[in-house]
Amino acid sequence: MATGIKDLMPEIPGFQECWGISVIHCPYCHGYEYRGKKTGIWAPAEKAFHLAPLLLNLTDDLTILGQDVSNFTEEELKTLQKHGVEMVHHNVMAMEHKNGYLHKVVLDNGDKISFSAVYAGVPFEQSSDIPNSLGCELTEQGFIKTDHFQMTTVPGVFACGDNCISMRSVAQAVASGNLAGAMANMELSKESF
Ligand SMILES: Cc1cc2nc3c(=O)[nH]c(=O)nc-3n(C[C@H](O)[C@H](O)[C@H](O)COP(=O)(O)OP(=O)(O)OC[C@H]3O[C@@H](n4cnc5c(N)ncnc54)[C@H](O)[C@@H]3O)c2cc1C
């Protein structure tokens, strides 16, 4: 199974059009292009707090959007404050953009704030239902469970790439695909030995 995952877009006008261009998910994939720019984080509090230190490597103009302070611990709030991370608790209602390049984020109080990029944490689902129909177990986060040799919980079924690894990258997908292919081949070779 090298079937990947499907990111689920929120119903925020403009979000989908900006996805992968200026509304992005990963500092390693997109961070360099948006370094030094006014940057937002739109994600659940835990994910927002996880992203904040990574993004502070790239910009000192960072704002967490759509999260109430009560979603963070006191210690987390102190840390965010110490590093100058702004908090705007209003919900994001729309993304104004040109050809996917973000201009302004529209908030539920009518305010519009300019951003160059917004890092978004969106839910996902498995792209293919085949692993599920074969009985492959998923982790709590929704990834296919595999062992160190990429075998799923169903003997003889191997998975690789985004469908089973939380660190999404081409390098990880290729490396795990290499291992899954070799292990599948070894099993088949042993069967007829
Ligand atoms: C916006 C964005 C930007 C990114 N930028 C980078 C980057 O700069 N650098 C980097 O390293 N990584 C980047 N990534 C992550 C990288 O794209 C993924 O980690 C990588 O593509 C995962 O490869 P994969 O083969 O596991 O899954 P995918 O690339 O998702 O491929 C899975 C394929 O399987 C197909 N499929 C699904 N079900 C079936 C079926 N039943 N039958 C046949 N085909 C099926 C799908 O259509 C898809 O083509 C980015 C991801 C996103 C979303």
User: Are the C-beta atoms of 97 and 133 separated by less than 8 Å?
Assistant: no
* 112/147 same-domain check: no
Q: What is the pLDDT of residue 192?
A: 85
Rounded distance between C-alpha atoms, residue 16 and residue 19, angstroms = 5
Q: Tell me the per-residue pLDDT of 106-151, one tens digit each, with 9 for 90 and over.
A: 999 999 999 999 999 999 999 999 999 999 999 999 999 999 999 9
Question: 156 lies in a domain?
Answer: yes
Question: 47 lies in a domain?
Answer: yes
Q: Which residues pair with 6 in a beta bridge?
A: 125
Taking the centre of ligand 1 as the mean of its atom positions, its distance from the CA of residue 143, in whole angstroms, is 14
Q: Which of 124, 127, 129 most suits a substitution to test ligand 1, by most atoms within 8 Å of the C-beta? A: 127
CB distance 150 to ligand 1 below 6 Å: no
Q: Would you place residue 99 in the very low, low, confident or very high pLDDT band (cuts 50, 70, 90)?
A: very high
Taking the centre of ligand 1 as the mean of its atom positions, its distance from the CA of residue 19, in whole angstroms, is 14
> Residue 80 is part of a domain; what is its CATH number?
3.50.50.60
CB distance 123 to ligand 1 below 6 Å: no
Contacts of 160 (CB under 8 A, 6+ apart): 1, 2, 146, 150, 173, 176, 177, 179, 180, 181
Structure letter (DSSP) for residue 123: -
Q: Which atom of ligand 1 is nearest to the CA of 24?
A: 1
Q: How far is CA 163 from CA 1, 49, 61, 119, 177, in A?
A: 8, 24, 33, 21, 11
End-to-end CA distance of the chain: 25
Q: Rounded to two decimals, what is the model's pTM?
A: 0.91
* 68/28 same-domain check: yes
Phi and psi for 16 in degrees, rounded to 5? -60, -40
Nearest CA to ligand 1 atom 22: 162
Structural domain containing residue 179: 128-191
Q: Which of 120, 149, 169 is the last residue of a domain?
A: 120
Q: What is the pLDDT of residue 148?
A: 96
Q: What is the pLDDT of residue 39?
A: 98
Taking the centre of ligand 1 as the mean of its atom positions, its distance from the CA of residue 24, in whole angstroms, is 15
User: If you average pLDDT over residues 59-81, what whole number do you get?
Assistant: 96
